[in-house]
Amino acid sequence: MTLYRGSCFCGAVAFEAEGDLARGTMRCNCRFCRKMRYWEMLLPDPDGFRLIRGAEALAETPLARADRVGMHHRFCGRCGTRLWTEGVLAELGGRFVQVCVSALDDVPLADLVAAPIHHADGAADNWWAEAPESRHL
């Protein structure tokens, strides 16, 4: 397990997250994730996430349709950097936190390149299946 530090572009928000890029990351082909260019790492324990500063700068993306699982997509309201998603989803064991890989600070390029990516087929509401096409993600 690695302690990652993350922040937004302007520095208003900072967090720590205990995870392991080598265990895998996810990109999704659903409309929301494509537009937001999400690349996320699921934390093995949601309690491994800690907001260090910037609660007052946080904003949340409103969803375009009813949110069945109570997902909250957090970003910096000052600079717009996507930071993390949290919520409750039975398929992920209940409460979860996924941090945006792009918000992690000082991750060696070799670790980013080596991180496995699951390209989820969220467009077909089949997140556990591999997307039929992923080059655009």
What Cα–Cα distance (Å) separates residue 11 from each residue in 36, 53, 76, 77? 20, 9, 9, 12
- Domain 2-130 is in which class? mainly beta
For residue 35, the surrounding DSSP H or E stretch is: helix 31-36
For 85-111, how does the pLDDT look when each residue is reduced to its tens digit (9 = 90+)?
Answer: 999 888 788 999 999 999 999 999 999
Domain boundaries, the chain: 2-130
For 13-56, how does the pLDDT look when each residue is reduced to its tens digit (9 = 90+)?
Answer: 999 999 999 999 999 998 888 888 889 999 999 999 999 999 99
pTM recorded for the entire structure: 0.89
